[in-house]
Amino acid sequence: MSTAQQYLFLDFEFTMPETKTKPHGFLPEIIEVGLVAVVNGEVCDQFSAYVKPLRFPQLTDRCKSFLKITQEQIDQGISFYELVTLLSKYDRARPSTVVTWGSMDMKVLRENCMSANVPFPFSGEHRDLAMEYKRFFGNKSQTGLRKAIQEYGNEGVGKAHCALDDAFTTYTIFRLVENDKKYLTKTKPPTLGERIDFTQLRKKFAL
């Protein structure tokens, strides 16, 4: 087994109730997955699929309209159990850090696993890049994924709310933020000794 660190950039899309007020017993369920696996700074794998929800298999009109997704696409998707098995394989392949934009993806995955009575597939660290972005730039509120990439002067990959495109966009922001962190580390303020040439100072006072 290789011990190289793996980053899994993960994005899910979820079911939505017909109205913004959640009906009693409604649980958001994963209906699309996008995953980008990165090792040593290189994309080594990617995966995307529609996922059939277990509890509420029929999508609401609001969900289909918002995500531009059809019932047929979902009906032909993989099962939630297949999704968890696949994510477990990625987790077992290498020591992994899962990176998502916001906390919702992992929260819903955890709830869906509990509801389906299956083990949570990840054993490593999880990084919420939206929270890191907020802290890094000192923002008061959390920035949306597409707005964040535009703030960097870039356009996101593909279209918003397509799970794989959003996973790639998360990876793009991750690289930009990590580069900024390295740049800031390299450009620490100079010490007093670096700012003043003491040899020149001694010569001046020796005269």
The answer to whether 18 is a known catalytic residue is no
Q: Residues 6 or more apart from 66 whose CB is under 8 A from it?
A: 16, 161
State the burial class of residue 101 (Cβ atoms within 10 Å of its Cβ: 0-12, 13-18, 19+): buried
C-alpha to C-alpha distance for 154 and 26, rounded to whole angstroms: 37
Q: Which ranges of 51-162 does DSSP label H, i.e. alpha helix?
A: 61-67, 71-75, 80-93, 104-116, 129-137, 145-151
| Catalytic residue chosen out of the listed positions 111, 126, 151, 161 | 161
| Catalytic residue chosen out of the listed positions 13, 42, 126, 132 | 13
Which CA distances in Å does 17 have to 66, 83, 163?
11, 22, 19
The answer to whether 13 is a known catalytic residue is yes
Structural contact between residues 6 and 42, judged by C-beta atoms closer than 8 angstroms: no
> What DSSP assignment string belongs to 99-127?
EESSSHHHHHHHHHHHHHT---S--SEEE
Q: Kindly report the length of the chain.
A: 207
C-alpha to C-alpha distance for 119 and 114, rounded to whole angstroms: 8
Q: Write down the residue that tokens 């987790």 correspond to.
A: 91
Active-site residue list: 13, 161
